[in-house]
Amino acid sequence: MIPFLDLRDAYLELKSEIDTAVLRVLDSGWYVLGEEVENFEAEWAKYCGAEHAVGVANGLDALVLSLRALGVGHGDEVIVPSHTFIATWLAVSAVGAKPVPVEPDKNSYNIDPTKIASAITDRTRAIIPVHLYGQPADLDPILEIARARGIAVVEDAAQAHGAEYKGKRIGGDSDLVCWSFYPGKNLGALGDAGAVTSNRPDLVEKLRVLRNYGSKKKYVNNVAGVNSRLDPMQAAVLRVKLGYLDEWNGRRNALADSYSSALEGSGLILPTISSWAKSAWHLYVVRSPNRDHLIDILKDAGIGTQIHYPIPPHMQEAFQSSNFAPDQFPLAQKFAGEVFSLPMGPHAPMNVSDVVCRSIENASAPH
Ligand SMILES: *Cc1c(COP(=O)(O)O)cnc(C)c1O
């Protein structure tokens, strides 16, 4: 049996270091914000090539608080990919703004920059590109469109820790870059955690206030903020795991290479990585019109798969009131019906690509 992902493997590889880090926090007597969080923020900002990082409770809050820091709210529009995890859209609706979907590029699955300009109106306040599956979106044309019109760019980098755009790690290019450290992400905590990286001190200041009850000075509340602080226990775990991120991303990359060579000629549509991109390989996503059958075959062979994501956001009940038609975003609709993800992670066995390849070959061979 090869599961899609077993989170315990990551803990076990680093058990003694993680246990020591967690015990250090338990022993410190300091359980909210403080030195452990500040140290992780500094280390994460440095890794990303950004000037600042602000730790928050999770990736969705990173997006919501970023939009709030920018002053996005009721009556505003925010451009989002039609093909993404629903959190990207939920952040927009959470601040009372309207998500305006833009279709993906067929090869990268990321937002198609050539389709953004026509979706912009005089109410557009921000664009949220998502680095989906670990591959950076094409940031330069997006930043150019946004800057020419005074629109903010907030990156959803929840799947792309360590990914590179044109030779440089993502995290310091746009106004605000949002991270999730949900356990299954490339840099994952042992619970919920998130952060925002930025080079804009004005926005960073607002985020620090917003995440902590809207308060700079204890019991003096400047804005109606929330409680969304990064837990020092998780910060301690993340500091340990950050030391292994590049090595673990390297293992993901090797497994992706192995899938791509084993599955060439399998009939599956394989991932395409743009020449200027280095993927963090959060997921290895393939496509087939025959998806559900192939998933069954792999299941019988003991291989776990997942679908990222089976229902596009515009078809979710949560966005029913927006009255989107199914065929309004045909690429998002098509990809939701065809994509599936093979086991991927720093602890997935390298031979999984051969097992997947053989199972699929056997299934399509004439009997
Ligand atoms: C995981 C994820 C999020 C949300 O992160 P949480 O920490 O689970 O709130 C947002 N966007 C994308 C693309 C994600 O994959």
pLDDT tens readout for residues 10-37 = 999 999 999 999 999 999 999 999 999 9
pLDDT reading at 365 higher than 90: no
Give the H or E element holding residue 215: strand 215-217
Give the contacts of 317 (CB within 8 A, at least 6 positions apart): none
- Render pLDDT for 278-307 as a digit per residue (tens, 0 to 9): 999 999 999 999 999 999 999 999 999 999
How much of the chain, in percent, has pLDDT values that exceed 90?
98
pLDDT reading at 366 higher than 80: no
Q: Which amino acid is at 259?
A: Y
pLDDT reading at 362 higher than 90: no
User: Which residues belong to CATH 3.90.1150.10 in the chain?
Assistant: 245-364
CA-wise closest residue to 210 among 197, 198, 222: 222
The whole-model pTM stands at: 0.98
* Residue 363 pLDDT class (50, 70, 90 cuts): confident
Residue 61 alpha carbon, nearest atom of ligand 1: 9
**Nearest protein CA to atom 4 of ligand 1, as residue:** 59
For residue 44, what pLDDT is reported? Answer: 98
Q: Which phi and psi angles does 235 have, rounded to 5°?
A: -60, -40
For residue 49, what pLDDT is reported? Answer: 98
Q: How far is the CA of 87 from the centre of ligand 1 (A)?
A: 6
Q: How far is CA 7 from CA 184, 231, 254, 263, 348, in A?
A: 7, 20, 19, 26, 11
Catalytic residues: 185
Residue pair 45/207 in contact (Cβ under 8 Å)? The answer is no
Q: In the numeric block, which tokens belong to residue 107?
A: 């090869």
What is the CATH code of the structural domain delimited by 7-242? 3.40.640.10
pLDDT reading at 271 higher than 80: yes
Residue pair 129/160 in contact (Cβ under 8 Å)? The answer is no
Judged by DSSP in three states, 355 sits in helix
Return d(Cα 339, Cα 268) in angstroms, integer. 10
Q: Which amino acid is at 278?
A: K
Q: How far is the CA of 182 from the centre of ligand 1 (A)?
A: 7
Q: How far is the CA of 318 from the centre of ligand 1 (A)?
A: 17
Residue 62 alpha carbon, nearest atom of ligand 1: 9
- Render pLDDT for 69-119 as a digit per residue (tens, 0 to 9): 999 999 999 999 999 999 999 999 999 999 999 999 999 999 999 999 999
* Residue 133 pLDDT class (50, 70, 90 cuts): very high
For residue 76, what pLDDT is reported? Answer: 98
**Nearest protein CA to atom 6 of ligand 1, as residue:** 59
Using CB distances shorter than 6 Å, the residues near ligand 1 are: 58-60, 84-85, 87-88, 130, 156, 158-159, 180, 182, 192, 194
Instruction: Look at the domain 245-364 and name its fold.
Output: Aspartate Aminotransferase, domain 1 (3.90.1150)
Residue 60 alpha carbon, nearest atom of ligand 1: 9
Cα angle 359-84-303, degrees, rounded to a multiple of 5: 20
